[in-house]
Structure 1
Amino acid sequence: MGVFPGFGSWINQNSQQPLKAESKRSENVDSEEDDFKYPDKIYYDLKEEQKQNDLWHEAEKKHPWHNASPKIKVTHENGFYHMNIELTVGLAPEFLYSILIDPGSGTFRDLRKRRNLMENKSRKVLFENGPRQMTRVEKSVACNVFGVYIPISMNLIVDENRKDLMTQYKKEKVRFMKAFEGNYKVEPIFVDKERLCKKRIPMTREEYKKCSGGQGKVASKLTIDQYYQPYSPFNLPPLSWFLRGMTIKTSKSLLAQVQDTSIAVRTAIPMPKETTSNKHEKH
């Protein structure tokens, strides 16, 4: 199974809110119709995001960013597998997060081989409260089985926080899996701090912007923690080895598409200045 259904962890209950299918604070009622629209409200400075896109575009022409391979570690304890992934992406955190949660899942289409690696089959909004939106989704993930991509259906409850740039998920139904849930978060990396911030190492975005004169690029650190427990007999060797390998290969394929998308963004022609007015209000 791949990463990116939306990610949340029952292991870290002290720092994460548990997933629930309903909320007294909900603003939206469970919808009967599919909703593939991206939420209208934004929770960041749109002009600053455009500034970052311009900085990345200009830097890419002179010194292309090196897309590092993901760091993947899988451990097994008490019947549960824990897959931890860290990936550095040459895009601003808000931009990367918006790509990852795009209801259209356009990020996960392999353009070279013309196939979807992951797509939403259905998506229903359960509730929305400020930057949080909870949805019930059915996804199809193309799993890498000995080099052949086989679609696997996953039914999930996904909880996204567009302000904190964090997502959680929990399965309703996933093939082979008795338990399947996790989380991901996107954090800033001040990639130009040594070059532009001589006197003081910045600790916040505001400090970084000030010491770099607004010329410092902000990259993203994507951290994923996925937990799963296969049904019997897939929890026993050799089937468990096969499932573990399939999960890693599928995750690598999805992450490679994230990096390919980041290259496309960095090398794209910048949007004309007159079209980048902040037509959305920051909340």
Structure 2
Amino acid sequence: MGVFTRFGGSINQNVQQPLKAESKIPRENVNSSSVSEEDSNIQEPWYWDPDVDPKLKAEYKKHSHVRSMPLYVTDPKYYDLAELKRQVTLWIPNNNKHPWYDAPATVKVKIKKGVCHLKIEFTLGWPPHGVYEMLTNPRNMNFFSLFDREFRQRLDNESTKVLKKDGPRQITDVKKTLRWKVLGCTIAIPIHLVIDENHQNLTAKYKKKNMSCMKVFEGSWKIKPLYADQERLCKSRSRINDEEYKKCSGGKGRIGSKVTMEQIFQPCTLLNVPPVSWFIRKITIRTIKNLLEDLRQYIINIHKSRAGPIFKYT
């Protein structure tokens, strides 16, 4: 069982916490005292690495911080976990001498009847399930830039509660805090969302549940595999799938991620009046770009690291 404890730790150390509210699906029995106050928002069952020995699992629950546990943000039932771990090793700089460049995200803005529509596209040199982890980030892994001396990120997750679980589909209630600065002052904005996730096709739709400054705030994302070495290692230039790519590349082909996002927002009625609405729109768009740039820089740091992710085997 591999636990990624550094840059690659985002794959194993994060967690989704399905709460079967009014569901017939049974829940695991877990002693709540094994969870620290800091992690009291975590609820079972977690998506553990299926290869973890039950005794070791019990020890983790008693003595370890959640970030160090072999946990996953997406349910391993719906993808090949061994292949994901193998792909992570291919992105380690020492294992591949062919550099990969991820350009900044392209953001197209369209305003119609006071509603701002953003269409966003970007690529990341990291496996799709790892990128999905970064976008959901329920356990505050350090994907985003540190914002102040208290080591708080630009975007923090405060709580995650799964409302419904139906196969690969999962509906989560998420509370986050977004931080930005105006005239040298730090402002913390609470964001309360309901996210409809699909762990099999790596898509998500979200909608505000409570955001005092926004009348409309919703969007979606989807992640598709990007066959980074297809042109170099495979004769075929047409669309292929994971199995064909692995075969034609001799197992050496890296799979990155192509992300498409949609974001729609509109300030609340009292704030949707120029020039206040212009200011809110500008700040919102700039903040979204900054968050995406944080993720891009996180991956760039992985690619620059000489050692890449560190592996522990237990």
User: Shorter-chain TM-score category?
Assistant: 0.7 to 0.9
Q: Is the 8 A contact 2:193 2:210 kept in 1?
A: yes
Secondary structure, counterpart of 1:115 in structure 2: coil
Give 1:235 shift. Answer: 1.9
**Which residues in structure 2 correspond to 1:104-183 (within 5 Å)?**
104-111=139-146, 114-145=151-182, 149-183=186-220
Q: Distance in 1 between matches of 2:103 and 2:155?
A: 22
Give 1:178 shift. Answer: 0.9
| Match of residue 34, structure 1, among 41, 45, 49 | 41
Q: Distance in 2 between matches of 1:152 and 1:101?
A: 18
Aligned to 1:97: 132
Aligned to 1:6: none
1:8-52 deviations in whole A, cap 9, x for unaligned? xxxxxxxxxxxxxx99877379xxx73267533312112211221
**Which residues in structure 2 correspond to 1:202-221 (within 5 Å)?**
202-221=239-258
Which amino acid in the other structure matches residue 281 of structure 2? R
Q: Is the 8 A contact 1:26 1:129 kept in 2?
A: no
Structure number having the greater helix percentage: 2
1:68-126 deviations in whole A, cap 9, x for unaligned? 11101111113321111111111011111123223113244424853311112222221
Give 1:130 shift. Answer: 2.0
After superposition, the Cα gap between the structure-2 partners of 1:170 and 1:258, relative to the gap in structure 1 and judged at 3 Å, is same
Q: Distance in 1 between matches of 2:309 and 2:140?
A: 22
**Which residues in structure 2 correspond to 1:224-235 (within 5 Å)?**
224-235=261-272
1:43-63 deviations in whole A, cap 9, x for unaligned? 211221122111111478634
Aligned to 1:44: 79
1:201-240 deviations in whole A, cap 9, x for unaligned? 3421222112111111111111110111211242222112
Q: Is the 8 A contact 2:191 2:210 kept in 1?
A: yes
Q: Distance in 2 between matches of 1:197 and 1:257?
A: 32
1:275 aligns to 2:313 (yes or no): yes
Q: Is the 8 A contact 1:34 1:124 kept in 2?
A: yes
After superposition, the Cα gap between the structure-2 partners of 1:67 and 1:144, relative to the gap in structure 1 and judged at 3 Å, is farther
Aligned to 2:109: 74
Q: Distance in 2 between matches of 1:57 and 1:92?
A: 12
TM-score by length of 1: 0.78
Which amino acid in the other structure matches residue 50 of structure 1? K
Identity of aligned residues (%): 39
After superposition, the Cα gap between the structure-2 partners of 1:76 and 1:44, relative to the gap in structure 1 and judged at 3 Å, is same
Q: Is the 8 A contact 1:152 1:175 kept in 2?
A: no
Which amino acid in the other structure matches residue 131 of structure 2? L
Between the two structures, name the one with larger relative contact order (CA 8 Å, sep ≥ 6): 1
Secondary structure, counterpart of 2:92 in structure 1: helix
After superposition, the Cα gap between the structure-2 partners of 1:150 and 1:178, relative to the gap in structure 1 and judged at 3 Å, is same
1:157-215 deviations in whole A, cap 9, x for unaligned? 11211111111111111131111111011111112111111245342122211211111
Secondary structure, counterpart of 2:271 in structure 1: coil
| Match of residue 248, structure 1, among 285, 290, 304 | 285
Q: Distance in 2 between matches of 1:62 and 1:112?
A: 34
TM-score by length of 2: 0.71
Aligned to 1:263: 300
Query: For structure 2, which runs of at least 5 residues remain unmatched after alignment?
Result: 1-19, 28-39, 49-74
Query: For structure 1, which runs of at least 5 residues remain unmatched after alignment?
Result: 1-21, 277-283
Superposed CA RMSD in Å reads: 2.8
Which amino acid in the other structure matches residue 81 of structure 1? C
